[in-house]
Structure 1
Amino acid sequence: MTERDWDTAWRALPLALLATATLIATIDASVPPAGRAVTVALAAAVTVWHGWMVLAHPAWPERALLPMAVYFAGLLALAWLLSSRHPAYALLVLACFPMAFVALPGRYAYAGTGAAALVAMGDPYQVVTSGDPWTRLAPALAAAGLAAFLGWIIRAMEAEAERRRAANRALHDANLRLERLGEENARLHGELLAAARRTGVTGERERLAREIHDTVGQGLAGIVTQLEAAEEAAGDTEAVRRRLAAARNLARQSLTEVRRSLHHLRPGPLAGSRLPQALAELVSGWSGTHDVPATLTVTGTARQLHPEVEVTLFRTVQEALANVARHANAGRTVVTLSYMEDVVVTDVRDDGVGFTPQQAHGDGFGLTAMRQRVTRLAGRLEVESAPGQGTAVSATVPAIPAAAEWGRP
């Protein structure tokens, strides 16, 4: 049986015992008809009283003290009247003991059992004046004590049951909150995945733009420069041949770089060598192509870095040299690669025409690409220049070791 079934059974107990006692009193031939009619009327009054106060208002018991105190007092009075008319109604008096715990809240239930014990004793005067008062007093007190003990056990069980119900409600509420959080997390996860896809697409576009600029763009610019120089030296067959050969080499290098970029490989010069050697080849080749003296200086202890770091530094120097060739009209260029404890720095300095610092913000994609590459590694790019005083481009990035994990750009 469930707890609700037990509550219903306890509340219906007085009516069941009342019906049994009334049946016994009605068939008792020793009771005159008029007396039986009064007894049945009193039993009907108990039925109406109990039905209205308890069964018709299930929220009152153990919650509303005043109406339940009135109910229990009326029940005791009717039980006393009936038990005085016929001994069978001692059953109804017995039902008053558990009803004290059904109807009265808290400690008032124990006072109700005491009052029920007084009713069970019958006429107090007769009990006291009888030769052996304990004959009726002891059973009543025992019944009251037993009822109080059982009531205390029932109350303890009810308290434990309520505690468990509260715990279950709290657990249920927590599960609901977890479900809502799970749904919210799933929604946020979906949004994050969508944002990551959008970011990935944007990042890939930027990477391809940088690679195209660093390979095709610079290669085509170098080819145009060589072809223009060949056109200017039209009267010098050897010079034209040399310029055309340089343009052909640049075209082949650019084609190789495009293929490597499409396959997500490192720049060609870094594929089989370390960064200092790759920069040395870059500076030497650039100097020969543009007829501008250029040197590379390496300071600190050279060590192998993460491919992303080496690619970023190589592309930065490559773009800075391309800018020198296009804009600086320089007579000399110096490239420095500095290995420090936590960072690596590249400097590209020229003695060209320079520009005002405000022009750096309006520069083309080359400077933007350099900044994006360096910033992606949590580094910084600095450009210093002034009209007639040359230009210095400095890139500082963390010295991430080669074994470190890193995502592709």
Structure 2
Amino acid sequence: MGDYSQDAALFRAVFDSAPLGMALLDLEGRLQYTNPALTQQLKYAPHALLGKPLVELLHPQDQSPCLEALEKAKRLQQDVACGEMRVQQWDADYLWFRLNLCPVSTAENATSHYLARLEPPPTNQARAEQVYLLSFALDYTSDGVLLLDDQLSIRYLNDAASHLLGQARQYLLGQGIAQALPPLALHSDDDLREVIDMQRKLSLELTHPADARGYHVSVQFNRFRYDRRGYSLVLIQDVTDQQRMAITLRHNESQFRALIENTHDAIGRLTPDFRLLYANPALEALSLRPLSQAQGRSARYAFGNNSQIDTWANMVQAVANSGTSMEEELIHGVDGPPDQQQHYLVQLVAEYNTRGEVTSVLSLARNITDIRKAERRLAESNQQLRELASRRESTREEERKLIAQEIHDELGQHLTALRMGISMLRLQFGEQAPGLSDKVEHLMALCDRTIQVVRSIATSLRPAALNMGLYPALEWLIGEFRQHAQIACEFTTHCDEPVLADDQATRAFRVVQEALNNVARHSGASRAEVSLERLDDIYKLDITDNGCGFNTASVSNRSLGLTGMRERGISLGGEVVIFSYPGQGTTVQATFPVSVPQEVL
């Protein structure tokens, strides 16, 4: 308790001995305590000021700013400078003081009092130095500064203002603001004073007197009063570059909008939660409702609910979450007739704000319906070509089969009968004509060679082993390959012999035959293998060698043999794939479905 009393006494002594005028105010702004310096300056008795509101001591023009400063000090809980104000002495004269207000808080951090400090204003010399410093500083600013009196005449301007207005200081001083800024002459005095009182910001276009070039300035008015007189501070800023940039930006924006509005692509902007922000006419044409009704609402309101809209919404959310662009094909009118459906290739791109956050997603949709129709027509044409090629292949194989059969049955029988007839000549007339035996031997050898040629031709047209099934035909083919190519080759099976129609077995045989021909002619291999296995509902036929291999990308498009194998794979209902790499051999793999020939059904 004793320490507290000592501290209070110490603070009171400091307060009373302060050379500045100081007063303690309550929350209503009434004087609760004043120090001797203040009572002496105002010529009051020591206790005559107690209980008086501070504002009653101020000049009427200074009372409102003081009340605002009290509220501001309480709200911000910090020292507030009120500026220079006039305080009335006991003899009714006014003295200028610099007034500062500081809130005084209790232990509960609530403002209970204000501390007012009243400092005498600077001397005339100090004021002159401050004015000179301010003028010096303003001359170094890039913005023009004008000081107008109550008659709107120029009392002061800095170098930047003289440069912006294109006239010397001496000429502008004393001129009216409308003469310095000609566009303001279009306003009446009352309108101009209203603009100044409202502290509006104007954009004016001026013409420089020296070179007649046009430029733009921004003019800001600030109205204030000083020593019972009104003044206006005018800030002038050259905004020619900003104006030019704004015009360019508006022009580019107009061009871009015209491009967006007239493109055939459907373009829209959506929020991450799938609300429609913008749609160009192409996208609006796909909407169920006008943009004016759908804007700001869920895109489902505009385009309905179906699986394609669900996919679109999921894409928007994924792009907003990841920031990664996405592309997908969607169908407009998926629930309608196929001939009325429209295919769109939709691309989504995230849009970011200055903080790097995704704020919206840009959607660009291109109509590819005609492309899809052309692809379908092309696929149908390709299918027709394949069917035609398959029929041609079947017809050719059938013709080969018939020709081989005719050669074997007719020509083979005739040659055999001819050989037998020549042999009978030797038996009947050999003794009567000694030279006949040599002739007969020569003719019989010629018949044998001819029969062998006939058999070779019939076999090359269609091996007779094909009539017994795919396995016997492949075993015969591999035996022929070993004999003629002198390359070791094995035939491995992992399933029972496939039950195939004659044309299917022939196509599979021709694939193996072409693959082995390529091994013999191009691979330089020392070993080859043919294997057949069943995997669920498909057969897998592999022809593998350990040869030199090749680059499939550079050879396959130019090789009729490889193309023929692929076409035969397609006609089998499957495909033929070639795996090869230089120095690592080659594998030709044919896969085709398990099927039952028509004869068995």
TM-score normalised per structure 2:
0.26
Larger RCO, structure (CA 8 Å, separation 6 or more): 1
Larger of the two Rg values belongs to structure: 2
TM-score normalised per structure 1:
0.37
* Larger fraction in helix: 1
